[in-house]
Amino acid sequence: MKLKNICQFSDSDRQTRIPSGCGIIGIFNRDRKRISGSDVALALCTMRERGNGLGSGYAAYGIYPELAESWCLHLLFGSDNGKNQTEQYLKTRFSLHQAEPIPTRTVRSLKHPPILWRYFVTPKEAIWQNELPGQDEKDYVASAFMWINQNIPDAFVMSSGKNMGIFKGVGQPDDIADFYRLEEYSGYLWTGHNRFPTNSVGWWGGAHPFGLLDWSVVHNGEISSYGVNRRYLENFGYFCTLFTDTEVIAYLFDLLVRKQRLPLEIVGKIIAAPFWSKIELLPASEQETARLLRVAYGSALMNGPFGVIVACSKFMLGITDRIKLRPLVAAEKGKTLYLASEQSAIFAVEGNPDRVWTPRAGEVTGGFLEEENG
């Protein structure tokens, strides 16, 4: 596949590669009580020094209740031609209920932002049943996501879930929040990211969060197994087109959790699997399972330093690499769960949590909506 030109999405520093910092935040109310976008922006801006202005972004859940049954596609375009081709494609495969620019305001520090639109759609069932017989609606939407990103020049899907959206770009976290008018949104779950790129360029589509369907992923660190993970995912119809290693995490969770229906605890043991030497020290009752997972899912193991927050419409979780080379702290206040790179980010919006703890290396930490418990 020929890579698409990303120059029009990038600023003058797009070729800069520098050591990693990155700040991540997640705020989740398990009773669906709504949280202002201003709060997550405040928490993320507390970790401003962890980024360098080459990318920031937010994912929000529960922000489109009036159109909650429609799939909401957030797209960025580098040209009118890319936008026109995408809209023609969408009209042939979906019923289009609403299309509009994503509301923004002028921020002096953000240079040459792309064209940003959102579309509320539902699949045309006749096409879906003909092209993907036996597969569900989510498979149909995911295939459209992949097709646009692969085949339409100057068009990239930022998010494609229901009642949620991703807002991201090249800039500091306060500037991106201001640009997208984040204070006008409220949702029950938020994730955020302040980027300090390592091995990939800083451009609008390469900022975090990364999404597919209702998944969103923010990541601090580096996935050194990106090549192996990417090739593994291609066997299942997932294709990486956004030039950033974090993209594989979103697709791995969709494959392992949604498609293969693996428990989250098992997924954690796959992507942050213990070293073979550590497996030999496990209780005998656990060794066989650990070995089977390493053999069957070796290509899904994520190597390198990472701290990750993964969210969907039903839960939020955090996980670090198997020796915890990147930080992650958790806290709770009532029904609200917080995950962050730094405790200071949590205390910026919740100064008196009921509990604060540090998850162990490779341990899945998170929570579900109350109605999803059990």
Domains contained in the chain, CATH given = 18-63+163-372 (3.60.20.10)
Rounded CA separation 81/94 (Å): 20
Residue 182 reports pLDDT greater than 50: yes
- Is there a contact between 325 and 361 (Cβ–Cβ < 8 Å)? no
Neighbours of 363 (CB within 10 A): 16
E strands, 42-174, in order: 56-61, 71-77, 94-101, 115-123, 155-159, 164-169
Give the residue carrying structure tokens 């405790």: 343
Average pLDDT, the chain: 90
201 falls in which pLDDT band (50, 70, 90)?
A: confident
State pLDDT tens for residues 210-266.
Answer: 999 999 999 998 889 999 999 999 999 999 988 888 999 999 999 999 999 999 999
d(CA 60, CA 72): 12
pLDDT at 115 over 60: yes
Find tokens 């550590």 and name the residue: 278
What is the length of the chain?
Answer: 374
Token look-up 């958790």 returns 330
User: Does residue 186 carry a pLDDT above 90?
Assistant: yes
- The yes-or-no verdict on residue 3 having pLDDT over 60 is no
Question: Mean pLDDT throughout 310-330?
Answer: 94
- Main-chain dihedrals φ then ψ at residue 127, nearest 5 degrees: -70, -45
Average pLDDT score over residue span 133-152 = 94
Residue 171 Rama label (left phi>0; alpha psi -120 to 50; beta): left
Sorting pLDDT into bands at 50, 70 and 90, what band is 338? very high
How far is 117 from 135, CA to CA, in rounded Å? 28
Q: What is the DSSP letter of 134?
A: T
Look at residue 373 in the predicted model and tell me its pLDDT.
55
At residue 71, does pLDDT exceed 90?
yes
Active site residue 72: no
DSSP codes of every residue in 268-307: HHHHTPPPHHHHTTS-HHHHHHHHHHHHHTGGG---S-EE
Q: How confident is the model at residue 81 (pLDDT cuts 50, 70, 90)?
A: very high
Question: Which candidate in 22, 45, 72, 312 is catalytic?
Answer: 22
Percent of the chain topping pLDDT 70: 93
